[in-house]
Chains A and B, each alone.
Chain A
Amino acid sequence: MEATRFIISTSPHIRDPITTRKIMCQVIVALAPVTLYSLVIHGVHGFYVIASSIAGALLGELAVQKARRLPVTLDDCSALLTGLLLALTLPPRVNWWIALVAGTVATVLGKQIFGGLGHNLFNPALVGRAVAFVSWAAYMTAGYVKSAAIGIANTPAHKAIEKAVDVAGGASPLAAMKIVYDPSLSPVGPGGVPHGIQASSYYKPLLLANPWGCLGEVSALLLVLGGIYLAVTRIIDWRIPVIYVGTVAVLTAITGRDPLFYTLAGGLLIGAIFMATDYTTSPLAPRGKVIYALGLGLVTWLLRFWSNNPEGVMFAILFMNGLVPIIDRYILPRTYGKVARPKEASGP
């Protein structure tokens, strides 16, 4: 038999075909329906925001990797996903340059500065958003759709949106309900929110056509479908979104407010399904994930009802991201063959 050179390596000699790139692309696929629908509802404005955010994210990653003479990893699609996710958490009419800067901040400060993929402490997209949120608060607030007259005419979803906007009278549903539940905040109500408004009247627009929120909040239904797709394909762990949303709903109900409304409104669903499940910034082990998700629910609930802002998802996720290293250090799975959990006292 002729002499042949064989490949030598240690076992295992076969690998699951899954790759980082495939995972990222699956998440992008799961976001595609809501992204497209967002473009339908918000038209060319939405496109500007999404394009600038993605461009910013790609440029940020490219710049750092070029400067550090590292291999460029744009082809793993993770920067693309970061840019897209960030865009979906931005107001539909925010200035394009804010989206661009936020995108760059997301990959540079949110990810590359920690050492790149897998090393960042905080969710990059939310780092970008947080920076934009505190730096250009007025622009961000102005970026939301407040009136049916703005830009949404002549779109297929026109009618539904017009009706929805009429119901809200301009304020975002969360802000409106915050005032409804606590009239002392604004006796008149911003944009003339009728005080008697029912949370249940928001169900349908939030599920099917919601123009008030961020780009990614146009339809709770599409977000949930995307989440089911990711859970079924085992890209994300279902525990995090289910426990997170469940905790918020239960706490909301205990507080005496409408749990379904608070599940559908605001950034909870996109945050729970697409942000809180980010691999790098969530715990590794199943039990840690449960604790993390419970914490997310608790902090979101606290921020929503006991802070100045109507929404608390972003800061809840960033806060819990910061706790992940601690969770991962102490909440370990019980190793097989150990009578008790490994001692945790050996830490510094």
Chain B
Amino acid sequence: MRIGAGISAGWRKRIRGGVHPPDNKHYTAEKPITRMEAPELVAIPLSQHIGAPCSPKVGRGDRVLVGTVIGDSEAFVSAPVHSSVSGTVREIAPHPHPVGGESPAVIIENDGLYERDPSLQPLPWEDMEPEDIRRAVRAAGMVGLGGAAFPTHVKLAPPREFPIDTVILNGAECEPFLTADYRLMLEHTEEVVEGLRIIMKAVGAPRAVIAVEDNKPLAVRKLAEVVRDPAIELRTLRTRYPQGAEKVLVTNLLGREVPSGGLPMHVGVVVNNVGTARAIAHYFRTGLPLVERVVTVTGSVIREPSNLLVPLGTSFAAAVEACGGFMSHPAKVIMGGPMMGLAQHTLEVPVVKGTSGIVVLSDQEAAYEIPREPVCIRCGRCVEACPMNLIPTYLATFSYRERWEEARRLSINDCIECGCCTYACPTRNPMVQLIKFGKAELARLKAAEERRARDREANAGKEGGGGSN
């Protein structure tokens, strides 16, 4: 421990990288959340989270109600999936998944009655033990709603050697276009704050920080009115992407640095999205598990950009239709924000737990030239933009040239894939794409190496065993 380190940590530890893309939140910032009807068919994928996919718990022809568990898994890092409508299971079949490819989904014929599963009951979280809260959060199918979709109960169960002293509630919503979290903070402030208190209780944290970017003054004011607990601090952050990235939040709010390869819990912090907090509170208040979420459907080609409360499993096509359809040719459909979101090849993909937005770009907005080979003029914009203090252009070049050792030496695995480097690049070098490829390739090489080592060990064991006989 260095004496005095804590005093100067405030300014010295702040992350300086990042970029400032046009936020384009004007399309939907003033649009209150509106509920949309589920279409006649919903396709609910059995894997909507990071971790083990669920196995189906219903079969063809079964009648399901809103909140009926239709998929679950024995694995710890997993979350059950519930029906968002009442109706009949038509089939369990591969269906296009917004994260890529096809994956098994439960296709349900919606009877339009929205009959609720009678077993769903409000839960008095204030009288519950942390362990029971976590179990309930898992039963509700809760995952991180900011986009990463990491099972929430896992986050709420840090190992004993890492006590949590602070919960950060992430209301930064730094991705351009998205306003779902903003509307939740405005319209469901009470539930957001209650969700935070539930999380605090579950992890045993004595204090919490709610972080909001300073381009959302109304949300800050509303939260300030509602938060009365002195243990909860409300902080505004400079508007700058990726202010809402976990590591950036931890550092900019608390002056702590998440160690390389580690998680916020290693420095005593749990970060949750405001949407997740609201969903948790809603569940404890009503007993309704995670079967719907707020999705910002937006972009210049959408006729009426909106913040929709969408039943999970609704197709993107239906969600777009609920916003009046397209006004002009849609060139690119993105799930999530334009900085980290995933481009979709079809509108048949369903809204899943991690769908924070459906952003549709016009021909003009989506058009930019990409060089045939990575070109770098060494301007250093990517270095300045990188919140992790990496040298993205070198990492990209090393990945492109498959020079893995050098890529590792320059900490390629510390990249958070925020895309700032690539956004800022004047030569349109697809750096983050190359870095993602490099990371995947390094992981593959490492796994292969470990497999070889295991095989060698196994062989040696066999020989040894034979000798002793």
Q: How far is the CA of A99 from the CA of B426 in the complex (A)?
A: 30
Q: Which residues of A contact B334 (CB under 8 A)?
A: 11, 13
Q: Is the CB of B377 within 8 A of A336?
A: no
- Interface positions, chain B 324-350, Cβ under 8 Å from A, are 325, 329-334, 338-347
Q: Is the CB of B388 within 8 A of A336?
A: yes
A72 within 8 A of B: no
Q: Is the CB of A10 within 8 A of B260?
A: no
Q: Is the CB of A10 within 8 A of B436?
A: yes
Q: Is the CB of A338 within 8 A of B430?
A: no
Q: Is the CB of A15 within 8 A of B432?
A: no
- Interface positions, chain A 270-302, Cβ under 8 Å from B, are 279-280, 282, 284-286, 289
Q: Which residues of B contact A14 (CB under 8 A)?
A: 21-22, 176, 338-339, 361, 365, 423
Binds B, one of A19-27, A131-139, A212-220: A19-27
Q: Which residues of A contact B380 (CB under 8 A)?
A: 237, 279, 284-285, 289
Q: How far is the CA of A282 from the CA of B366 in the complex (A)?
A: 33
Q: Is the CB of A284 within 8 A of B343?
A: no
Q: Is the CB of A333 within 8 A of B389?
A: yes
Binds B, one of A1-9, A88-96, A182-190, A255-263: A1-9
Q: Tally A residues with Cβ within 8 Å of B.
A: 39
Q: Say yes or no: A7-B331 contact (C-beta < 8 A), given A14-B176, A334-B389, A335-B389.
A: yes
- Interface positions, chain B 398-432, Cβ under 8 Å from A, are 405, 409-411, 414, 417, 419, 422-428, 430, 432
Q: How far is the CA of A20 from the CA of B339 in the complex (A)?
A: 21
Q: Say yes or no: A284-B391 contact (C-beta < 8 A), given A6-B333, A6-B345, A13-B361.
A: yes
Q: Is the CB of A336 within 8 A of B262?
A: no
Q: Which residues of A contact B247 (CB under 8 A)?
A: 336-337
Q: How far is the CA of A280 from the CA of B377 in the complex (A)?
A: 6
Q: Say yes or no: A284-B388 contact (C-beta < 8 A), given A12-B432, A13-B334, A23-B379.
A: no
Q: Is the CB of A337 within 8 A of B378?
A: no
A346 within 8 A of B: yes
Q: Is the CB of B260 within 8 A of A12?
A: no
B19 within 8 A of A: yes
Q: Which residues of A contact B342 (CB under 8 A)?
A: 11
Q: Is the CB of B433 within 8 A of A10?
A: yes
A342 within 8 A of B: yes
Q: How far is the CA of A10 from the CA of B176 in the complex (A)?
A: 16
B383 within 8 A of A: yes
Q: Is the CB of A118 within 8 A of B376?
A: yes
B124 to chain A, nearest CB (A): 40
B356 within 8 A of A: no
Q: Which residues of A contact B19 (CB under 8 A)?
A: 16
- Interface positions, chain A 91-148, Cβ under 8 Å from B, are 117-118
Q: Is the CB of A336 within 8 A of B389?
A: yes
Q: Is the CB of A11 within 8 A of B378?
A: no
Q: How far is the CA of A14 from the CA of B432 in the complex (A)?
A: 13
A18 within 8 A of B: yes
Q: Is the CB of A10 within 8 A of B432?
A: yes
Q: Which residues of A contact B251 (CB under 8 A)?
A: 336
Q: Is the CB of A11 within 8 A of B432?
A: yes
B61 within 8 A of A: no
Residues of B within 8 A of A (CB): 15, 19, 21-22, 176, 247, 251, 257-262, 317, 320-321, 325, 329-334, 338-347, 359, 361, 365-366, 368, 370, 375-381, 383-384, 387-391, 393-394, 405, 409-411, 414, 417, 419, 422-428, 430, 432-433, 436
Q: Can you pick out 9 interface pairs between chain A and chain B where the beta carbons lie within 8 Å of each other?
A: A9-B343, A13-B339, A22-B426, A23-B377, A117-B377, A284-B380, A337-B260, A337-B261, A342-B411
A-B residue pairs, 10 tightest by C-beta: A12-B419, A337-B260, A333-B389, A336-B388, A13-B338, A279-B379, A7-B332, A118-B377, A10-B433, A335-B411
